[in-house]
Chains A and B, each alone.
Chain A
Amino acid sequence: MADRHPEPDSPELRARWGNFSWTEANAAKAKEIVARYPEGRQRSAVMPLLDLAQRQVGAEENTQGWLPLPVMEYIAAQLDMPIIRVLEVATFYTMYNIAPVGRFHVQVCGTTPCMLRGSDEIMAACKAKGMKKGHTTPDGLFTLTEVECMGNCSSAPMVQINDDNYEDLTAERVTHILDELAAGRSPKAGTQEPGRHTVEPVGALSSLTAMATENHDYRGEW
């Protein structure tokens, strides 16, 4: 996390993003978002607006999207709040990319449950595709990041790629997903385990079996 830095302020950055403004659709959406908050509290809209801006930048660049400083300034001006407060929010949440990313932002979970279930292999599979942690591949397709727990521990290991989670991975499965994405197809999101739908138990119940049919009171058995 410490190596997260905003894309430096440069004349090129200003030239590219200095006159950022909402697309017509997003302007309407932004207006609707700001209206959700009470009068005088429109600063609360900073998080959804940053997300919206990130998506618009992504749509323009055909990447996952990121937040150039002039775009943050644009949002600060719209919400009439100091730019440093916007930057604080954008740097706090890792979901905001503050430097350019590729078409697909591959976020590999490396926290304990995923690690125990083989996230190292997932990471190795990603690296075998030419990715490097914290970098974008030369073709601009993939950016690799290692992240902390995404809350998919029951279907570990997992990666998050843009808006989708891919769970129950193995090296082959993740390679397949990356190939599909690179080929422009949309692989199935969610669990990759055949026969599994969400995070229901794989195979037979192994614990709390009595709970399957009724609300069993285990307390007497402790």
Chain B
Amino acid sequence: MPKVKVDGVELEVPAGATVLQACELAGKEIPRFCYHERLSIAGNCRMCLVEVKPGPPKPQASCALPASEGQEIRTDSEMVKKAREGVMEFLLINHPLDCPICDQGGECDLQDQSVAYGRGASRYHEHKRAVTEKYMGPLIKTTMTRCIHCTRCVRFSEEVAGVDEIGALYRGEGMQISTYLEKAAKHELSANVIDLCPVGALTSKPYAFEARPWELKKTLSIDVSDALGSNIRLDSRGREVLRALPRVNDDVNEEWLSDRGRYMVDGLTRRRLDKPWLRRDGKLVAATWAEAFDAVAKINPGASVAVIAGDLVDCETMFAAKKLAGALGSSLLEGRQTGLAYDCSNLAAVNFNSTLAGIEDADAVLIVGSMVRDEAPLLNTRLRKAVKKGAKVFIVGPHWDPTYPATFLGDDLAVLGNLPADVADLFGKAQKPAIIVGGGALAKGALAPALAFSAQFNLVRDGWNGFNVVHMAASRMGGLMLGYAQKGGIADLVAAKPKMVISLGADEVDFTKFAGSMIVHIGHHGDKAAHAADVILPAAAFSEKDGTYVNTEGRVQYAEKAVFAPGDAREDWTILRAMADALGVSVGFDSFEQLRAAMVAEVPALGVEGLADYGALPAAPADAKAEGVIGYPIKDRYLTNAIGRASPTLQRCSAELLHGETFAEAAE
């Protein structure tokens, strides 16, 4: 723990800290472009210069200099100011003065720092460097003349994403950032380089020229594109969400966001259900709310009701629907739309117990039936970190590219009970062994053998729980906590032949099995469920309502309402409340506060932000055995939900990046 002096104030810094970190601990702001906390140190922008004694009598780059005992660091001296001004002047030599037409304007590091260190006018009269644009795919817009060669994007793609897609070609002033042969960046986290870029060289293509940062309303929300519950910020103007950006949460998403979560927001204004629809003579016709509720009342299902929750709904919606079904006398609730029927009697057995941050410490990981990159992209970056620290990863399932070294143990689940000797040996010796069970394995009944594996290798030990299930739906853990699980899965609902099926945005269900039921769809997009519905009640998407979400590790998080739902659409809970009136029952709440209070009273864990406690793992059933070839459920990683399928950006990603279609670039 070296002691250093920053601007005359003595403080102790952690061993291994850099001078820049020491200055930050002392509360000094150090300007920087290339340095980033989550990337390796490059030290090439030279903006973070400070004066350090003892040392050479010249400014030094603080990001790359280790703090050591007895250093005297000055961040406020004349030398430092002059040096930084010099660096800034050099950076601006080749940087175009196009801030008025640059999308980074208003949130640009170079702009901000030039306020402090820039000259009023340029002394440079020669020609500026100009660089041709580089094509980087449908998400990243490039204006490479603006690039200041910080190489953050290069380091991100190599270190975090794990696919060396972006590189720095040529040298010196001629250096250019590009992908190989200007191919599209294909990684599922590729758009994070937009946030990393300190200038306007890499900006968001779908968001180009849409808005200025200062005209946007910022709302804290939760990403629903997967079950990780990434913390996001929705930037909206008027009634439209223009973009989603990640927020920093070291426990969940660090500061990254998957491309799917980032770009599905432009599906929020398309294919929306903005008025009620009724099916008359086999055709959907627009209706009023009064007509719609009349139609619901006419169904008069009595207790013959089932509720199917979709992947994107919040806990409040599911709870309101549960109350409605309960008031009608039914408890047929199910959220696992595609027919999964794993045992949910103990939620610890279907939870990601290691936690997303904790899995980084694992030293042996067995992934069973999960294509992590598609199902939970940010979990894959955690696993990558674990591998960098020395973890060994084994995967049961068809081959995919995990971006880190991993051993594939075959497609058949049977291997779980019959591990190769060296693998079993490794797990036996591991300090922090872990298993990750994915949806593809759950479908084949892998939960029981996974529990047996957990018992065999003692995955739960002091300070460590290595038993993990990774879900794919943002609503899954919340739904399970609210009882949206039947013993036989959705088959139980089919067998009950309910008179009325309430779909809460359940777009993945095979509704042909409910041919005899009246289907009331409370959803926000004209997607698969709307085609099957008899009554469509337009509802709010995740951005248009307050809501509670529980991620795959059992973390309870709250999302706030960013904009109003379009047209006649209403927040889901109000629709369910009005349905209760139409059906002549009482659900016991009249406001959102009452609803949330009732929900917390019933499931107290939903009232506390943070990890829910599900207790101890259950013992594995004695006859735990599973076999069968695993198939991964996600066929198209960009089009996994109704919002994504409506998003032109993700449609293009799917067509171009997954299916190899080519698009002509519009001439600028």
Interface on A for B, CB 8 Å cutoff?
A: 1-2, 4, 9, 69, 81-85, 87-88, 91-92
Which residues of chain B from 174 to 210 have a CB within 8 Å of any chain A CB? 174, 179-181
Q: Residue B168 at the A interface, CB < 8 A?
A: yes
Q: In the assembly, what is the distance between CA of A4 and CA of B168, in Å?
A: 14
The 4 closest A-B pairs by CB, nearest first: A82-B164, A84-B167, A2-B174, A91-B169
Residues of B within 8 A of A2 (CB): 129, 170, 173-174
Residues of B within 8 A of A4 (CB): 170, 174
Q: Give the interface SS of chain A, mostly helix, strand, loop or mixed.
A: helix
Known interface pairs A9-B181, A69-B181; A87-B174 also in contact (CB < 8 Å): no
Number of interface residues of B (CB under 8 A): 16
Q: Residue B166 at the A interface, CB < 8 A?
A: yes
Chain A CB within 10 A, most for which of B129, B166, B171, B172: B171
Question: Are B166 and A91 closer than 8 Å at their CB atoms?
Answer: no
Q: In the assembly, what is the distance between CA of A128 and CA of B465, in Å?
A: 79
Residue of B nearest to A82 (CB): B164
Q: In the assembly, what is the distance between CA of A84 and CA of B181, in Å?
A: 9
Which residues of chain B from 40 to 82 have a CB within 8 Å of any chain A CB? none
Q: Residue B360 at the A interface, CB < 8 A?
A: no
Residues of B within 8 A of A82 (CB): 163-165, 180
Residues of B within 8 A of A84 (CB): 164-167, 179-180
Residue of B nearest to A4 (CB): B170
Known interface pairs A1-B174, A4-B174; A87-B169 also in contact (CB < 8 Å): yes
Question: Are B168 and A88 closer than 8 Å at their CB atoms?
Answer: yes
Residues of A within 8 A of B179 (CB): 84
Interface on B for A, CB 8 Å cutoff?
A: 129, 163-174, 179-181
Q: In the assembly, what is the distance between CA of A91 and CA of B178, in Å?
A: 12
Besides A84-B179, A84-B180, 10 more A-B contacts (Cβ < 8 Å) are A1-B173, A2-B173, A81-B164, A82-B165, A84-B164, A84-B165, A84-B166, A85-B164, A91-B169, A92-B170
Q: Nearest Cβ in chain B — how far from A81, in angstroms?
A: 8
Residue of B nearest to A3 (CB): B174
Residue of A nearest to B168 (CB): A88
Q: Nearest Cβ in chain B — how far from A66, in angstroms?
A: 16
25 A-B contacts, Cβ less than 8 Å apart? A1-B171, A1-B172, A1-B173, A1-B174, A2-B173, A2-B174, A4-B170, A9-B181, A69-B181, A81-B164, A82-B165, A82-B180, A84-B167, A85-B164, A85-B167, A87-B167, A87-B169, A87-B180, A88-B168, A88-B169, A91-B169, A91-B170, A91-B171, A92-B170, A92-B171
Q: Nearest Cβ in chain B — how far from A119, in angstroms?
A: 21
Q: In the assembly, what is the distance between CA of A83 and CA of B179, in Å?
A: 10
Residues of A within 8 A of B173 (CB): 1-2
Q: Nearest Cβ in chain A — how far from B135, in angstroms?
A: 13
Chain A CB within 10 A, most for which of B129, B180, B181: B180
Residues of B within 8 A of A9 (CB): 181
Residues of A within 8 A of B181 (CB): 9, 69
Residues of B within 8 A of A92 (CB): 169-171
Q: In the assembly, what is the distance between CA of A92 and CA of B129, in Å?
A: 18
Residues of B within 8 A of A87 (CB): 167, 169, 180
Question: Are B174 and A83 closer than 8 Å at their CB atoms?
Answer: no
Known interface pairs A9-B181, A69-B181; A88-B167 also in contact (CB < 8 Å): yes
Q: In the assembly, what is the distance between CA of A9 and CA of B170, in Å?
A: 17
Chain A CB within 10 A, most for which of B163, B168, B170: B170
Q: In the assembly, what is the distance between CA of A76 and CA of B129, in Å?
A: 31
Q: Nearest Cβ in chain A — how far from B380, in angstroms?
A: 18
